[in-house]
C-alpha cells in the first residue's frame, strides 16, 4: 500500500514538474523571440543600408543564438554575396536549400552567385529534382508516418478482416517506400561541402602538407566529402576529380555538430 502511494506521489510530482516546464517554456518563448526579432530586424536594416559586414555579423550571431532557419540563411547568403564573399554565400544558400529545397529565391540567388563567380553548374537528374520536392526532414517524417499507417492498416485489416484497410495500407506502404528512396537520394547531398577558402583551395594527392598539389578548387565550388584524415578532407568535385584539401578550406553544408 505504501509503495503504491509512493508511486502515485512520484508520478504526480513528475507531472507537475513537466507541466511547469511547459508553462515556463510557453511564457519564455515569446520574450525570447521578441528579443531576437530586433536583432533580425537590425541585421536586415544594416543590409538595406548597405552595411553588409554588420549584417553578416548580426545574422551569424542569430545563427549562434537561435539556430538555423531558411530565411535567416538566405539573408545571410545575400549579405555574403553583397560583400563579395562567394564561398560563404554559396554555403549559406546551400544550407537554406536543405531546409527549403523548393524555395525559388534561394535557387535564383544561388544560381546568380554561382554564375557571377563562374562556377560550373550541372543539371540535376530527375530523381534529384523529385527528391527536392520536400526537405530531408519532410521526407523522413513522411516515410515514418506512411510506414506506420501501412503497418497499422494491414494489421487492422488482418485483425478485423476489413478489406478497405488493405488498400490504405498498400498506398501508405508505397508512400513510405518513396520517402525512403528520396531520403537515400538526399543523403548523398548531405555529405557535401563548399569551398570557403579565399579564391581557391589546393587539391593534394595525399593528406599531407608537403603532398603534390594536382589542382585547385574555386571558392564557392561544391564538393562531395569522401573521408577525412587529420586536418585534410578527401573530396570529389563536380568533374569527378578526387583529392585532399585542408579542412579549413571547406565547410560541410550540414555540419555534424550543428
Partner 1 sequence: MSAMQAKHKTMLGLAATAWGLAMSLVASAALADTDANAQIRPSRISLGQSAELRVPAKSGRAPALPQVDGLHFQQMGQRSEMRDINGVVSKQDWILYRVVADRPGKFDIPIGPRPLAFEVTPAGASTASAASQAARPSPASASPAQRGSSEGPLAFLRVRLPNKKMFIGQAVPVTFKAYFRAGTEVTLAGAPSLGASAFTVGNLDDSPHQSVETIDGVPYRVATWTGQISAAMSGKFTTHATLPIIARYRVAPRQPAADPFTSMFDDDEDVFSSSPSAMLRSFMKHSSFGGDLDDMFGQVREREMTLRARAQGIQVQPLPRTGQPSNFGGAVGRFDVRTRLAPSTGIAFSPMTLTIEVSGQGNLDRVAVAGLPASADWKTYPPSAKQSAPGNKSFEQAVVPQRGGHLELPAISLSYFDPEQKRYITRSSTPIDVEVAAAPTGSPVPTFAATSPRPVSKPAAGLRPNRVDEGRFVATLLPPYRRAWFWPVVTAPWLVLAAGVTRSRVRHHSARSHRRATKETIDRYRQAMKGAVAAEDTQRFYEAAAAGLCIRLGQIWHMHPDDVTAAEAAARLGPGDASIVAVLSAAEQLRYGAAVAEPASLAGLKASIDQRLEQLEVRS
* Residue ranges binding partner 1 (CB under 8 A): 33, 36-37, 40-41, 44-45, 47-49, 66-72, 74-75, 78, 81-82, 95, 98-100, 103-105, 108-109, 112-113, 116, 136-137, 140-141, 144, 148, 151, 183, 186-187, 190, 253-256, 258
- Please, are residues 154 and 122 in contact by the beta-carbon 8 Å criterion? no
**Dist. CA 26–CA 17, nearest whole Å:** 14
Q: How far is the CB of 16 from partner 1 (least distance, A)?
A: 24
Q: Which is nearer to partner 1, 43 or 203 (CB)?
A: 43
Of 101 and 243, the one with the shorter C-beta distance to partner 1 is: 101
For 28-36, the CB contacts below 8 A with 24+ separation are 36/62, 36/65, 36/66
Query: Cβ 219 to partner 1, closest distance in Å?
Result: 18
Shortest gap between Cβ of 51 and partner 1 (angstroms)?
A: 11
Q: Whose Cβ is closer to partner 1: residue 2's or residue 258's?
A: 258
Cβ neighbours of residue 124 closer than 8 Å, sequence gap 6 or more? 132
Compute the distance between CA of residue 92 and CA of residue 114 in angstroms, rounded to an integer: 13
Least Å from the CB of residue 151 to partner 1: 8
CB of 239 to partner 1, least distance (A): 26
Residue number with CB closer to partner 1 (242 or 254): 254
How do beta strands 250-252 and 232-236 pair? unpaired
Cα separation, 88 vs 184, whole angstroms: 27
CA-CA distance, 165 to 51, in Å (whole number)? 60
Nearer to partner 1, 153 or 243 (CB): 153
Amino acid at each position: 500500500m505504501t509503495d503504491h502511494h509512493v508511486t502515485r506521489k512520484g508520478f504526480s510530482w513528475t507531472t507537475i514538474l513537466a507541466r511547469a516546464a511547459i508553462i515556463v517554456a510557453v511564457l519564455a518563448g515569446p520574450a525570447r523571440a521578441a528579443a531576437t526579432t530586433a536583432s533580425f530586424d537590425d541585421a536586415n536594416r544594416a543590409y538595406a543600408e548597405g552595411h553588409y559586414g554588420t549584417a553578416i555579423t548580426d545574422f551569424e550571431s542569430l545563427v549562434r543564438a537561435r539556430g538555423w532557419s531558411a530565411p535567416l540563411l538566405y539573408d545571410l547568403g545575400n549579405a555574403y554575396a553583397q560583400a563579395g564573399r562567394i564561398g560563404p554565400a554559396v554555403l549559406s544558400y546551400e544550407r537554406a536549400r536543405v531546409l527549403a529545397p523548393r524555395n525559388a529565391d534561394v535557387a535564383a540567388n544561388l544560381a546568380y552567385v554561382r554564375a557571377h563567380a563562374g562556377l560550373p553548374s550541372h543539371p540535376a537528374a530527375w530523381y534529384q529534382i523529385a527528391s527536392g520536392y520536400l526537405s530531408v526532414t519532410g521526407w523522413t517524417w513522411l516515410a515514418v508516418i506512411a510506414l506506420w499507417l501501412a503497418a497499422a492498416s494491414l494489421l487492422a485489416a488482418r485483425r478485423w478482416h476489413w478489406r478497405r484497410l488493405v488498400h490504405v495500407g498498400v498506398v501508405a506502404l508505397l508512400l513510405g517506400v518513396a520517402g525512403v528512396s528520396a531520403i537515400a537520394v538526399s543523403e548523398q547531398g548531405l555529405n557535401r561541402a563548399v569551398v570557403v577558402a579565399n579564391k581557391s583551395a589546393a587539391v593534394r594527392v595525399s593528406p599531407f602538407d608537403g603532398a603534390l598539389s594536382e589542382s585547385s578548387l574555386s571558392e564557392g565550388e561544391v564538393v562531395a566529402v569522401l573521408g577525412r584524415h587529420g586536418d585534410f578532407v578527401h573530396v570529389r568535385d563536380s568533374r569527378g576529380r578526387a583529392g585532399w584539401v585542408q579542412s579549413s578550406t571547406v565547410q560541410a553544408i550540414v555540419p555534424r555538430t550543428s
